[in-house]
Amino acid sequence: MNPPPIEIHDLTVAYHHRPVLWDIDVSFAAGELVAIVGPNGAGKSTLIKAMMGLVPLASGHVNFFGEPSVKRRSTVAYVPQRGSVDWDFPTTALDVVLMGRYGQLPLFGRPRRKDKEIAVECLKKVGMLEFAKRQISQLSGGQQQRVFLARALAQQTSVYLMDEPFAGVDASTEKAIVVLLRELREQGSTVLVVHHDLQTVPEYFDSVMLLNLRCVAFGPVETTFTAENLQKTYGGHLHLLTEVGEKLRQREWRHRNATH
């Protein structure tokens, strides 16, 4: 049997001796589209950064395809939060997407025609081709997010770790991202998405990982995304839970109607 694309063993991360992630032990299969949800400060972004080796691990390890993550880091495409970079940087959308190719280039090598073709293709996939030559500060939030996704696609890998790609994007971008995520899943990619909007989890994702310092629950949305598990993850934020409970009821209602 092939080793799973992502394996996390006993992962603990601490900032200034205070744990922010505790004993995470989980693995993700090929073709899995996973939402990582949890309250603010639950360690969602930290989990992704820890997998990419961007924050030091207090203990445990992460394997990609059965090998230590450091060795296989370039096989994983990372989409940081949009707010983590300076969008006034003097560069174009196409150029940002080309950066996705840098990992595959030799030390002093420049992007070749092939790389540019790939970048253009990826911009086309996210519907941003006409903005290729735009300076990135002149793009809307949703367009910037699409550029980030195109850059991840340009890495041409089969594992994608995305940090809040849906944050602050317009409805059409949200739709485009969902289509893209499904496409990636069809290709057998493993996609982990830090997600903040509980209401869309059942609609957009197959699996869900509920995170709050530790992994509260992980599994298919149908069996894992339950009011009980959410209560465990979010604690006493009742107004939020009733809202989600309402959504869940609506979904069941929709399901019933759909099956009838």
Given the rule CB under 8 A, which residues bind another protein? 49, 52-54, 73-74, 76, 78, 80, 84-86, 89-92, 96, 99, 102-103, 105, 108-110, 135, 151, 155
Q: Which is nearer to another protein, 130 or 243 (CB)?
A: 130
Report residue 55 CA to chain centroid gap: 17
Residues 6+ apart with CB under 8 A from 86: none
| Minimum CB distance to another protein, residue 52 (Å) | 5
- Please report, for residues 63, 160, 176, 197, 238, the alpha-carbon distance to residue 218 in angstroms, rounded to integers and kept in the order given: 18, 18, 26, 17, 22
Q: How far is the CB of 157 from another protein (least distance, A)?
A: 10
Q: Which is nearer to another protein, 122 or 248 (CB)?
A: 122
Residue closer to another protein by CB (options 155, 173) is 155
- Minimal distance, residue 181 CB to another protein, in Å: 19
| Min CB(172)–another protein separation in Å | 24
**Which CB, 52 or 221, lies closer to another protein?**
52
CA–CA dist 73, 155 (Å, integer): 11
CA atoms of 22 and 43, how far apart (whole Å): 9
Rounded Cα distance between 123 and 176, Å, is 12
Roughly how many angstroms between the first and final C-alpha of the chain, as a whole number? 40
Q: Considering the complex, what minimum distance in angstroms separates the CB of residue 209 from another protein?
A: 20
- Which residue, 108 or 228, is less far from another protein as judged by CB? 108
Task: Compute the least distance from the CB of residue 164 to another protein, in Å.
Answer: 13
**AA letter at 228:** E
State which residue, 78 or 204, has the beta carbon closest to another protein: 78
Give dist(CA 191, CA 226) in Å, integer: 22
Q: Is 112 exposed, middle or buried (0-12, 13-18, 19+ CB in 10 A)?
A: exposed
